[in-house]
Structure 1
Amino acid sequence: MTERRPGTEWRWDETLFAGTAAHYLTGRMPYSPELVDALREELGLDGTGRLLDVGCGPGSLTLLLAPLFAEAIGVDPDPDMLTEASRRPGAANVRWHRARAEDLPAGLGVFRVVTFAQSFHWMDQPLVAARVRDHMLEPGGFWVHVGGTTHQGAATAGQPPWDSVDELVTRYLGPVRRAGQGHLPNGTRSGEEDVMRAAGFRGPTRLTLGGGRPVARTIDDVVASVFSTSGAAPHLFADRLPAFEADLRGLLASAAAGGRFTELTHDIEAVIWRLH
């Protein structure tokens, strides 16, 4: 099976998450610790082997799962994300490496588990799947997609006025979702399962970790949440950024009870693939 080289259908944009890293840890709700127990049991993880987390951002999933392995490596193309990751207290067995997923294997070796947490849709999927399959998974290894909405919670009383926030973003940036220097009129790409099967992976096995955990959020948290997304990255507002933030804070202040909101976490899903 041959690799497909990157072509005109996918072009990396280094500004995709520019300026978001500083807002990520405050703006995103953490993954449930139940994810650790679920993957340990399902994959038979025992503190040996190696983990590769591709598109790791500031290391939220990398650091959560690192204790299940002898070594963990987080890979991301954004230097600011890796700077934030390196500042976080974490396991001594973690290291960070700057690279695009399309640059793999990048001399990193082989791994028992390779994870993609809400990141695979930003990549040249057939190329990355082929590189991981051919060069980076040890025999019996696993590919794991981790998905879930973490920048905002499920609908509940007392949550931020997300519809009004979306309307405000639209007023400043236009009706079509922005993404780096381009737009996403149809949202991010789907079809990941077709890519995985075409690459020769078997599955998937799905693990769903229930949400519904209440999380208190301040106005600062919600502002950080907005700026942590590709569609409202700070650089997109250019010289209108101060005005947008002032309007956003005013909107949130008028809706917050005592300056706080309550959100319920969404379900988190781990989608596990194995090689034939």
Structure 2
Amino acid sequence: MTASTPSYKLKELFASTAPYYAAFRPRYAPEFYTLLADRFGLDGTQRVLVIGPGPGLIALELAPFVSAVVAVDPEKGMLEEGRRLAAERGFTNITWREGDSITLPAIDIEPVLLTVMGAAYHWMDRDQVARDLDRIIEPGGAIVLTSGGAPGDPEPAP
């Protein structure tokens, strides 16, 4: 192991935390989703990709605005919690896929208008992710990065 190689595996960091993320992780402001809908003309016909959705906080909020959400996360527990929450809310347009930013090119993802990433972005090789997403995002689409605010802040960021 080199000095730059972490001594943990990312998948191990979040094992068994999914219900706590779902219950206690600060939400993004509702205006964020309205802004995306307005800016990108989300009318229920678009597809979006959410990388690192955890239990689906972003995916669940975007689902009413689009025809399909593809949620890609490396942690099976997070995906299971996301599926449970989607079923609880009656969403059938979210596909939960196991993977991460490194395996993204090998995942069969149809073109999307938007790719949205929250806090998971800081774990990624940002340049490589941008290159990989350039092949997936439709013309006129975008990569959207969002922050939930400062650590420990229970209120959504403005």
TM-score grouping bracket, smaller chain normalisation: 0.7 to 0.9
Name the counterpart of 2:48.
51
Which digits, 9 at most, give the CA deviation of each residue in 1:207-245, with x for residues without a partner? xxxxxxxxxxxxxxxxxxxxxxxxxxxxxxxxxxxxxxx
Residue pair 2:26, 2:148 contacting (<8 A) in 1 also: no
- Counterpart of 1:92, as a letter, is T
| Change over 3 Å in CA distance of 1:125–1:36 after alignment to 2 | same
Alignment RMSD, CA only? 2.1
Residue pair 2:44, 2:65 contacting (<8 A) in 1 also: yes
| Change over 3 Å in CA distance of 1:15–1:112 after alignment to 2 | same
Residue pair 2:29, 2:156 contacting (<8 A) in 1 also: no
Name the counterpart of 1:118.
119
- Counterpart of 1:64, as a letter, is E
Number of positions where the alignment pairs a residue of Structure 1 with one of Structure 2: 151
Offset at residue 43 of structure 1 (A): 1.7
| Change over 3 Å in CA distance of 1:140–1:127 after alignment to 2 | same
| Change over 3 Å in CA distance of 1:59–1:266 after alignment to 2 | closer
Secondary structure (helix, strand or coil) at the match of 1:138 reads strand
Does 2:77 match 1:80?
yes
Offset at residue 13 of structure 1 (A): 2.8
Offset at residue 59 of structure 1 (A): 0.3
Instruction: Give the gaps of 5 or more residues in structure 1.
Output: 1-7, 154-262, 269-276
Which digits, 9 at most, give the CA deviation of each residue in 1:36-65, with x for residues without a partner? 211111222211110100001000100101
Write the mapping of 1:26-105 to structure 2, written as runs, cut at 5 A: 26-88=23-85, 89-90=88-89, 91-105=91-105
Secondary structure (helix, strand or coil) at the match of 1:81 reads helix
Q: Quick one: distance in 2 between partners of 1:143 and 1:72?
A: 14
Write the mapping of 1:89-168 to structure 2, written as runs, cut at 5 A: 89-90=88-89, 91-105=91-105, 106-133=107-134, 135-149=135-149, 152-153=152-153
Does 2:16 match 1:19?
yes
Instruction: Give the gaps of 5 or more residues in structure 2.
Output: none
Secondary structure (helix, strand or coil) at the match of 2:109 reads coil
- Counterpart of 1:267, as a letter, is A
Offset at residue 266 of structure 1 (A): 4.0
> Taking every aligned residue pair, what percent have the same amino acid on both sides?
33
Offset at residue 151 of structure 1 (A): 6.1
Write the mapping of 1:187-198 to structure 2, written as runs, cut at 5 A: none
